[in-house]
Chain A
Amino acid sequence: MVVNRSLRKELLREIRNSRTRFLSIFLMVALGVMFLVGLRSAAPDMRTTADGYFDRAGLFDVQILSTLGLTKADIAVFAQTEGVESARGGWSLDAVLSREETQRIVKVISLTGGMNRPDLLAGRMPEQPSECAVDAGVMDGAGLKIGDTVTLAPGENMSDALRCRSFTITARVNSPLYISLDRGTGSLGDGSVAGFVLLPESSFDLDYYTAAYITADGVLPLSAYGDDYDGAVKTLTDRLENTAESRGVLRYALLRSEAQEKIDNAQQELDDGRAEADREIADAQQKLDDARQELDDGWEELTQAKQDYDDGVIEGQQELDDARQELDDGWEELAQAKQDYDDGVIEGQEKLDDARWELDSGWYGLYTAQTTLEQSQAELDARRTEAEAGLEAARQALEDSQTLLDEKQPELDAAQAQVEALRTQTEEYAAGLEAQNAQIAAAEAAGTPLDPASLPLDQQTLDAMQAGLAQAETALADAQAEYDAGRAELEAGWAAYEAQKDEVLGQLDDAQAQIDSGWQDYESGWASLNAAEAEYTQGVADYEQGLADAAQKIADGEQELLDGEADYAQGQSDYETGLADAAQEIADGEQELLDGEAEYADGEQELADARQEAEDQIADGQEKIDEAREALGDLKPAEVYVLDRNSNYGFVSYDQNAARMENLARVFPVIFFIVAALVCLTTMTRMVEEQRTQIGTIKAMGYGTGAIAAKFIIYGVTAALGGAVLGAAVGTTLIPWVIFTSYGIMYTLPALQIRIYWGLILIAGAAGVACTVGATLWAMLSTARLSPAALMRPRAPRAGKRILLERVGPVWKRMSFSMKVSARNLFRYKKRLWMTVIGVAGCTALLIAGLGLRSSIFDIIDIQFGEIYRYDVQMSVDPEEPGTTDRVERYLEQSAGTEAWAGANTRSVTFEAGGAAADGYLRVTDDREALDRQIDFRDMSDKTHLRIPEDGILIDVKLAELLKVGVGDTVTIDCGSRISVPVGGIMEHYVYHYACMDAETFSRLTGEEYAPNEYFLTVTDDSDGAVSGLCGDLLELDGVQSASNLKSMARSFRETMEVVDAAVMIIILSAAALALVVLYNLTNINITERIRELATIKVLGFYDAEVAMYIYRENIVLTLMGIALGQFFGKFLCTWLVRTIEMDIVMFGREAKPENYVLSVVLSLLFAVLVNILMYFRMRKIDMVQSLKSVE
């Protein structure tokens, strides 16, 4: 292969121009290499880290244990054995570590010089006998600090094993003996051990070692988990077993003789004790007899006192009765007086009422008289007025007549005068006429007659005058007469008037006199009534005074009586008090005597007890001695165990976990490699096709096939190598780190030692490169062989072909035109079809596996802590403390917060069956029904309820799997003694292993008595506050060691499982990467290959969405096919993954959850949609002018 400068330049440009293509090869190879290298190197890294730690710490290779202990001589012999580098004696015993309220069961282990060196985290190693180094886990759990003082109390049979009781913590350590968080089991408490405490050898006071730690010669360079190491140690173990056996026999003989001596001494001591006890008992009997005499005297005195008391009672009662009589009489009198008073009141009131009536009548009469008088007066006054008016009128008339008359007087006078005058005139005329007549006569005489006319006077006139005078005189006479008559009448009128006036006035005055006398009477009546009124008022006052006086008298009498009553009551009370006091005195005396009796009886009992006790003790002593004798007889020859590191739980389980990672490495990378190969194949094929003309041109220029192929191979190899380098780098570092960190929760180990496994990287890289090169060659071969001319000719368009589906008329006809196009395209590019389907299926499968793993882990928490464990509080108690069971159960019965409870005895045991063994717990109860209510024992598959069998055990599913047993098979349980029990049922249970058993069966099989050491409670109020309050109350009880809320236990368990999320995230991300790379790459190729076709349909007037759908339709179908296929892959992958990762002590959920499948579909679709959206923009940018170009 010759690659010259221009080809190289061309290559670089090629890479730059097709970044996505290059990147997809790069990424796929990187993923594959990363998983392969990462998962593969995780296991060796883990083992190397642990091995380095063991080597530095000088962890034993072999340990020897003996039931009778090991002596210094034994150790010396082991040290001399061939193949042993060094041997050290050590001690290991169970003890209770306590500081204030905190208690933990710990393994106390001696610091054995250069061996099993702990990892000092803080402080300094203990040097003095009273100093200790403590397990970091215990310090954190119990809240201990360096400098704290703790006490260590070893178990009974080892109670003298330590020189001190209190120890000062000088160091916080991890130990190579305990790399797992599981600290194993012990003989104290419930058998679970919280951790270890390391003491200097000088702290131990035992004349034998409990263990011998041995390191083997020349195994240090070997890996502790390798076969070489196993072989070397196996040889040494075999050799040591012989030696240890013979040392055991020797030890046995020595112990026997020592024991015999001890028994003889004890017997002597016992006999001495018996004599001493007899003497003490005799003294006590004498004291008792004295007390009896004293008591009898007391009883006699008491009888006398009682007699006196009775007499006193009779006398006092008589006095009281007399006083009572007197008082009763007084009360009767008072009642009479009250009666009289009441009568008097009624009578007086009646009289007063009568007087009142009379007075009121008088007042009424007076009032009537007054009215009459006033009325008469008024009438009289009226009459008087009337009469006076009449009189006045009459007088007035008279006056008027008077006046009239008086007026007529002058008239008369005038008339008189007139008449007089007339007379005179007439007389003078008559005289004159006579005179004339005379004259005439004279004259006539004279004869001279006189003329008559000249004569003045005439007779006629005188006649008239005389007539007038006569008339006037008559008229005057009439008037005078009339006047005189009027005057007479007037005179008579005045007389009548005076008479009438006197009569009327006289009458009126009489009436007035009558009325005046009436008033007189009225006045006198009023006065007398007033006097009577005053009298009455006085009477009333007198009466009231009388009543008040009487009432006062009665009240005084009553008060007097009440005083008497009070006196009487006082007297009675005094009497009774006196009696009570006397009775109390007597009772006290009696009680005193009775107490004395009781004391005496107690004394008697005590003496009897003491006698009994002495006898018992002596009997016990004797029995013990007898037992010791018997034990001596029973003393069995030493059983010796020679164990290698495989007896260490942490050592073994760590190896298993590493192996699990190797398992994972077997399948995971394969998926990615397959997909990587497919991606390369399609990508390179496409690339070769695209550059067909160029290949032809270069070939025509004279380059050989090799040089041309070189470009593509180098392109592929560059991408693959780049990916491999990245994958190897990430895989070597990140993945082991993630895995180791996840396991870090369960193991205490120093930081991970990352090693680079070149071989592995080479293989992985080679696999990646091989995939690419293989794919490239495959794509190249057919093309590169063609002649330049053929290459430069546009490749004959790929002939359209009918597909099988078209032959199925009914289906084909029903498909829409675009569906037909898609269907044909799908089957036209088969390579692409398979690749997409496999890629998407891989993605879906990974998602199902990842989600499935997560849900199988987290589901069990919900099932275990929500469905199977129904209790709310778990409480552990110390049955060794006296009265604990009674106290606790009584409390639980009465506690209002507790709804139901059940007790059980749970201890750490080892289960064995047919060569398989597993550690777990044996839970024994004497009340199966009560426990049933706290824990749901049920069948895994059909959830039917299971009962703890009467004669057998219920075990969990995983335990049954590990032991490979079924119902009816026998399991051997090592719980101190070894018992064999048939399996009566297999229950659903996820966390740790449990066997449940009835107490009777347990007692029958082990001979041990049942005593509950834990309780399960359901509470009435399960709020956190209420439950923690209850827990606090429970902890107050003596003998209660812990009380924990199930909810918080579930919470902490969930937290420890959260690392799984990281793993699941890695899986989901790689699934996403897989889906994205595959779909993007393929769609990209699809578009590139058909860009002319797409441009053409754009020119034809397809909308953007229609153009996109033209491609999408195929993607959708392929994605759906992939997802469907992925469901099956996923199911298998998930099951396999869960089984691979599962630990021995936990069973993960095994039910496939439908939602995981749904979610996997949704996520896969989401990734597909994402890619398709990206592609949409790419398609929109396609230039239609491309359609005008010639085919390349």
Chain B
Amino acid sequence: MSYIELKDVRRIYPSGGGEVRALDGVDLAVEKGELCVIVGPSGAGKTTVLNLLGGMDMATSGSIRVDGQEISSLRGRGLTRYRRYDIGFVFQFYNLVGNLTALENVELASEICPDPMDAGEALERVGLGHRKNNFPAQLSGGEQQRVAIARALAKRPKLLLCDEPTGALDYNTGKEVLQLLQDTCRKDGMTVIIITHNSALMPMGDRVIQIRSGRVSKMYTNPEPTPIERIEW
């Protein structure tokens, strides 16, 4: 059994008189320690996959398993606990708390974990040890995203979910961030899922899943992922 497994997952929103099938029978599997890239155009349903995997939404039907745990059956507090202990989330717009310093933003996450990484160490890992007392407003976009990654890592999650991590960044900074994510996967054995509309990122993934119209249109593994520096877009 795979580390992460979605089987026939559907997510249907009632809309007006009818319904919108955001996901219409998604099947996919990701192995532990893989860097998985999920791509698809806008509206294909990749954000829904992200929401379901991140414990922010519940599937209408189907099964979602993460490390043997059935996520699709969780509700309310159970779902919160799943987010709290198992998921590291990296947002497109970093979502740092403006009123907290870089260090404090990391602490915000580590505070609620039973076995967190030291917040300072987490910042060191993303290479921001020297900026830990700066407020988000004093940091560049890339730096903010790195703080966000540190915040996600500090929880020692089972899964690092990244939603368009480069979406708000320029080309070079974006690359740096991707490099960081890849390194995290390689060095720490972290399972990383990157959700993006940018198909140029596909070669960097160990596994690539293409989503189209609420279904997985293609899923394949990359025995030799392309290094980040060779990826262009």
Contacts and interface: CB of A to CB of B under 8 A. Distances in A.
A66 to B, nearest CB: 85
A1190 B92 contact: yes
Contacts of B89: 1099-1100
A1096 interface: yes
A1103 B137 contact: no
B105 to A, nearest CB: 10
Contact of A799 (B56, B95, B98, B163): B98
A1092 B97 CA distance: 9
Contact of B137 (A799, A1096, A1102, A1185): A799
Contacts of B109: 1100
Contacts of A796: 137
A1106 B111 CA distance: 12
Interface in B99-149: 99-101, 104, 107-109, 111-112, 135-138
A1096 B91 contact: yes
Interface stretch (B75-83, B206-214, B217-225): B75-83
Contacts of B136: 797, 800
Nearest to A816: B111
B111 A817 contact: yes
B3 interface: no
A1188 B92 contact: yes
Interface in B48-92: 51, 54, 56-57, 77, 80-85, 87, 89, 91-92
A1158 interface: no
A1192 to B, nearest CB: 11
Interface string A1098-1115: 111111101000000000
Contact of A1101 (B80, B137, B168): B80
A652 interface: no
Contacts of A1102: 80, 84, 112
A1103 B82 CA distance: 11
A99 B135 CA distance: 92
A1100 B84 CA distance: 6
A817 B107 contact: yes
B80 A1103 contact: yes
Interface residues of A, number: 32
B112 A799 contact: no
Contacts of B99: 798, 800, 821, 824-825, 828
B50 to A, nearest CB: 8
A288 B56 CA distance: 131
A817 B97 CA distance: 14
A1099 B83 contact: yes
Contact of A821 (B54, B95, B100, B151): B100
Given A800-B100, A824-B99, A1101-B85, A1184 B112 contact: no
B133 to A, nearest CB: 9
A797 B144 CA distance: 13
Interface residues of B, number: 37
Nearest to B107: A817
B47 A1101 contact: no
Contacts of A798: 98-99, 137
B92 A820 contact: no
A1100 B51 contact: no
Interface string A812-829: 000001101100110010
B214 to A, nearest CB: 17
A801, A1097, A1099, A1187 — which one has the most chain B CB atoms within 10 A of its CB?
A1099
A1100 B112 contact: yes
A1093 interface: yes
Contacts of A799: 98, 135, 137-138
A821 B91 contact: no
A1101 B100 contact: no
Contacts of B137: 796-800
Interface in A782-834: 796-801, 817-818, 820-821, 824-825, 828
A1191 interface: yes
Given A797-B136, A1103-B80, A1096 B56 contact: no
A1093 B80 CA distance: 16
Interface string A339-357: 0000000000000000000
A470 to B, nearest CB: 171
B95 A1096 contact: yes
A797 B99 CA distance: 9
A1101 B95 contact: no
B141 to A, nearest CB: 12
A1090 to B, nearest CB: 9
A743 to B, nearest CB: 55
Contact of B135 (A800, A1101, A1189): A800
Contact of B104 (A817, A825, A1187): A817
A865 B72 CA distance: 73
Contacts of B111: 817-818
Contact of B47 (A824, A828, A1188): A1188
A801 B99 CA distance: 7
7 contacts: A799-B98, A817-B108, A821-B97, A824-B99, A1101-B112, A1188-B47, A1190-B92
What 6 pairs across the A-B complex have the smallest Cβ distances? A1101-B84, A800-B135, A1101-B83, A799-B137, A1096-B95, A797-B98
Interface of B: 47, 51, 54, 56-57, 77, 80-85, 87, 89, 91-93, 95, 97-101, 104, 107-109, 111-112, 135-138, 151, 155, 163, 168
Given A817-B104, A1184-B56, 20 more contacts: A797-B136, A799-B98, A799-B137, A800-B98, A800-B137, A817-B108, A820-B104, A821-B97, A1093-B97, A1096-B95, A1099-B56, A1099-B91, A1101-B81, A1101-B155, A1103-B77, A1185-B56, A1187-B95, A1188-B163, A1190-B168, A1191-B93
